[in-house]
């Protein structure tokens, strides 16, 4: 399947049409941004690693009953996926306090939550992805109640599949962001699952092995992505 027309260019990916109107190609870039694109940089080989990691996670999730947009990985940087009508609600699921949760509620980073928390954010670069609740999403027509219920259920299920898989590789899944879309009447998990969109800590040392190394200028950014790739895709 070959790329045709560029239809979207985001911070980390490009999306192209194909000869099949139901399928598009995601191309993974090395570009990295943080703080709503105020900080910009490059993480060498990030695109290759995120493509490979996303493939592994999508295959694992599909095997565990989660419908995803993944069709096949085409090469190092390209993945064939089902074309989605993106629902503009990003979900974040959290197991351990970090990032904006620590800041907003004055909680200590690293504190394990008694059970997962799901949050919704309105997908809007112009507004910096503000947090919303079910009322905003439904009353403002972003998603129906039934869709949100399904998204919530899938989000918790993804979390419950990935946590033990990662724990087995001595990684803690601190939190992650998921995106969903509509395809032929069904809600599918879309986007990517990688160290850009999840927080992964080494379970023993609690060393951060994700995009926080870039966000917080912690150094060893490439090495962290390579380490996660090694543990998940190479074993």
Q: Can you give the binding site for ligand UDP, defined by CB under 6 A?
A: 92, 98-101, 129, 175-177, 197-199, 211
* CB 100, min distance to ligand UDP, A: 4
Residue among 1 and 116 whose Cβ is closer to ligand UDP: 116
Distance CA(82)–CA(137), nearest Å, equals 24
* CB 1, min distance to ligand UDP, A: 27
* CB 39, min distance to ligand UDP, A: 11
Residue among 70 and 121 whose Cβ is closer to ligand UDP: 121
* CB 120, min distance to ligand UDP, A: 11
Residue among 211 and 229 whose Cβ is closer to ligand UDP: 211
Q: Phi/psi of residue 77, each to 5°? A: -115, 0
Q: How many CB atoms lie within 10 A of CB 85?
A: 8
SS3 153: helix
The two tokens of residue 146 are 């039934």
Q: List all residues 6 or more positions away from 196 whose beta carbon is below 8 Å from its beta carbon.
A: 12, 32, 46, 50, 210, 211
Q: Which residue is nearest to ligand UDP (CB)?
A: 99
Q: List all residues 6 or more positions away from 168 whose beta carbon is below 8 Å from its beta carbon.
A: none
Residue whose token pair is 């096949």: 72
Residue among 81 and 174 whose Cβ is closer to ligand UDP: 174
């Amino acid at each position: 399947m070959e790329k045709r027309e560029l239809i979207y260019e985001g911070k980390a990916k490009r999306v192209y049409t194909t000869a099949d109107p139901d399928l598009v190609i995601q191309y993974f870039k090395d570009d990295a941004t943080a703080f709503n694109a105020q900080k910009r940089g490059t993480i060498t080989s990030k695109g290759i690693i995120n493509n490979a990691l996303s493939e592994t996670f999508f295959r694992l999730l599909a095997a565990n009953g989660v419908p995803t947009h993944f069709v096949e990985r085409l090469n190092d940087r390209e993945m064939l996926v089902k074309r989605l009508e993106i629902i503009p609600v990003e979900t974040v699921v959290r197991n351990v306090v970090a990032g904006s949760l620590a800041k907003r509620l004055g909680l200590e980073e690293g504190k394990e939550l008694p059970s997962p928390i799901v949050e919704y954010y309105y997908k809007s670069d112009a507004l910096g992805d503000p947090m919303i609740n079910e009322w905003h999403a439904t009353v403002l027509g972003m998603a129906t109640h039934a869709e949100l219920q399904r998204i919530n259920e899938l989000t918790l299920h993804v979390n419950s599949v990935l946590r033990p898989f990662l724990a087995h590789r001595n990684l803690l899944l601190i939190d992650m962001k998921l995106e969903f879309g509509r395809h032929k009447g069904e809600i599918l998990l879309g986007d990517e699952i990688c160290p850009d969109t999840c927080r992964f800590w080494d379970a023993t040392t609690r060393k951060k092995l994700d995009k926080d190394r870039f966000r917080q200028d912690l150094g060893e950014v490439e090495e962290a992505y390579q380490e996660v790739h090694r543990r998940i895709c190479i074993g």
